[in-house]
Amino acid sequence: MDAKPLWLLAELTYKCPLQCPYCSNPLDFAGPRFKQELTTEEWSRVFREAKALGVLQLGLSGGEPLLRTDLEGLVATAHQLGLYTSLITSAHRLRKDRLAALQRAGLDHVQISVQAADADLSDRIAGTQAFGDKLAAYHFTKELGFPLTVNVVLHRENLHQVEALIRFAESLGAERIELANTQFYGWAFHNRDALMPTKAQLNAAWQVVLRERARLGPRLEIVWVLPDYHEQFPKPCMGGWARAYMTVAPGGEVWPCHAAGRITTLTFENVRDRSLEWIWRESDAFNRFRGEAWMPEPCRSCARRTVDFGGCRCQAFLVAGDAGLTDPVCSLAPHRHLIDAAVAQIERAAAAGVEPPSLTYRAAPASRALTAKG
């Protein structure tokens, strides 16, 4: 096994002032599993071990990473190691002097989310008044000279704003806009029927993306994260299980992706008990779906197995009940009918003018209630 990780996503905390109903954090984020956050020293050790393993790109995420008062020190440690650091933030309550301090510590890149192109809708989706802080932060991020990514999660409530969102990112002087169609994990899976767009909505938005890409060229990179339920083939999730990517959750558990903690049939090791190298190379969770030996049919004999690696293990677990199956999004998968049924239900409801179900916002009380229900 000679795969070496390139990417580390450090989820520093699951505390967050926003309550986005598509949050990728675990439903049980407020429970005991994630309560004892890693200390500054423990994170520093994780970064050192990650660099020694081959990691070059570090995402500082959460929850809201700005809630860690030691963030400046963590950035400095990562920078001294030569990691390229990205802050992935809501920018809630972020002030220019703090971002300037993070810049002095060596921060390379800032990604700020926005929930919609206008304050009313953005704040409604965030579940709190956040748009004003974001707008200010976008401007001073550019004033400080940072490369800026605008990140928007897309769903049925905001897909009609794709053009306005691109124009917004352009007006800010952003380098990138990530138009991330909702991937159905975590809270998004729980809210799937309320968030899933219709095919017509997606087609209209995609036409806008094509037109705007042609207009803007390399001035603004427009990333379109595929709405995989509406695709024929699965995404090459994480570039393959445990090939290049890992996530460390707030309590120190290490996952091959930020959604994998939900897979209850795997046991995840913790950096408090093991070295990152041992977890990457030796742990059962990382080895279980590495390479091709685990693959069932139709993946095993499929030419696309080196393209999409069988798709997403978390999706196989969530939708088909077994992380070792072909991603049910694949049109060749035996469980594709489950995806088709979910999509067809949305189309039927939309055609009949039925209101979507209400959203469950990501918040600690809801987390505890959902976890208690099991």
Partner 1 sequence: MNPTSAAAVPRLHPKARLQRDDVRGRDVLLYPEGLVTLNPTGAEILGLCDGVRSLADIVTTLEQRYGASGLERDVTSFVEALAAKGLVVYGR
Applying CB under 8 A, which of residues 36, 39, 41, 82 lies at the interface with partner 1?
Answer: 82
Closer of 78 and 266 to partner 1 (Cβ) = 78
Closer of 223 and 344 to partner 1 (Cβ) = 223
* Smallest separation, CB 142 to partner 1 (Å): 12
| Single-letter residue type at 12 | L
Strand order in the sheet with 245-248: 221-225, 176-181, 148-154, 109-113, 84-89, 57-61, 7-11, 245-248, 254-255
Q: Are strands 221-225 and 245-248 parallel, antiparallel or unpaired?
A: unpaired
* Smallest separation, CB 237 to partner 1 (Å): 16
* Smallest separation, CB 90 to partner 1 (Å): 18
Q: Give the binding range for partner 1 (CB under 8 A) out of 21-29, 82-90, 224-232, 332-340.
A: 82-90
CA 143, distance to chain mean position in Å, is 27
Residues 94-133 that bind partner 1 (CB under 8 A): 108-109, 111
Angle CA 96–100–101, to nearest 5: 120
Over the window 160 to 199, marking each residue x when it contacts partner 1 by CB under 8 A and - when it does not, the resulting string is ---------------xx-----------------------
Of 156, 217, 147, the closest CA to residue 22 belongs to 156
Determine if 54 is a binding residue for partner 1 (CB under 8 A): yes
Closer of 180 and 194 to partner 1 (Cβ) = 180
What is the biggest distance separating any 2 CA atoms in the chain, rounded to whole angstroms?
58
Applying CB under 8 A, which of residues 97, 120, 214, 218 lies at the interface with partner 1?
Answer: 218
* Smallest separation, CB 124 to partner 1 (Å): 28
* Smallest separation, CB 197 to partner 1 (Å): 24
Q: Is 68 left (phi over 0), alpha (psi -120 to 50) or beta?
A: beta
Q: Give the binding range for partner 1 (CB under 8 A) out of 50-58, 231-239, 277-285, 301-309.
A: 50-58
Query: φ and ψ at 154, to 5 degrees?
Result: -100, 145
Residues 134/91, Cβ–Cβ less than 8 Å: yes
Applying CB under 8 A, which of residues 31, 73, 127, 147 lies at the interface with partner 1?
Answer: 147
State the first-to-last Cα distance of the chain, in angstroms, to the nearest integer.
37
Closer of 84 and 294 to partner 1 (Cβ) = 84
Helix intervals (H) in the chain: 40-53, 71-81, 96-105, 119-126, 131-143, 162-172, 186-190, 192-195, 199-216, 276-282, 284-288, 305-308, 313-315, 336-351, 364-373
Size of the site for partner 1 (CB under 8 A): 20
Query: φ and ψ at 152, to 5 degrees?
Result: -130, 125
| Single-letter residue type at 215 | R
Sign, CA torsion 134/136/139/145:
negative
Q: Give the binding range for partner 1 (CB under 8 A) out of 54-62, 224-232, 279-287, 298-306.
A: 54-62
Helix intervals (H) in 4-150: 40-53, 71-81, 96-105, 119-126, 131-143
Applying CB under 8 A, which of residues 84, 140, 224, 278 lies at the interface with partner 1?
Answer: 84
134 contacts: CB under 8 Å, gap ≥ 6: 90, 91, 92, 112, 113, 114, 122
Closer of 150 and 266 to partner 1 (Cβ) = 150
Applying CB under 8 A, which of residues 35, 39, 52, 98 lies at the interface with partner 1?
Answer: 52
Determine if 258 is a binding residue for partner 1 (CB under 8 A): no
Q: How far is CA 372 from CA 28, 144, 263, in A?
A: 9, 45, 18
Applying CB under 8 A, which of residues 24, 44, 57, 89 lies at the interface with partner 1?
Answer: 57
* Smallest separation, CB 149 to partner 1 (Å): 6
Determine if 4 is a binding residue for partner 1 (CB under 8 A): yes
Applying CB under 8 A, which of residues 19, 149, 161, 326 lies at the interface with partner 1?
Answer: 149
Applying CB under 8 A, which of residues 8, 30, 46, 53 lies at the interface with partner 1?
Answer: 53
Residues that bind partner 1 (CB under 8 A): 4, 6, 52-54, 56-57, 82, 84, 86, 108-109, 111, 145, 147, 149, 175-176, 218, 221
